[in-house]
Amino acid sequence: MGNLPFFKQPNNVGNASMALGIVSTSLVFGIGFCSLVGLEQGWLPVGATVLYVCGASSAFLGLLAVVLGGIGLFGKNLRRTAAIVGMLLGLAGMCLFFGVLAALHNAG
Q: Cβ distance 91 to 63 under 8 Å?
A: no
| Domain extent at residue 59 | 12-107
| Residue 25 belongs to a domain | yes
User: For residue 105, what are the CA distances in angstroms to 25, 45, 102?
Assistant: 21, 13, 5
| Residue 80 belongs to a domain | yes
| Residue 38 belongs to a domain | yes
Q: How confident is the model at residue 5 (pLDDT cuts 50, 70, 90)?
A: low
Per the confidence metrics, is the pTM higher than 0.75?
A: yes
Q: Per the structure, how many domains does the chain have? A: 1
Q: Is the pLDDT of residue 2 over 80?
A: no
| Residue 74 belongs to a domain | yes
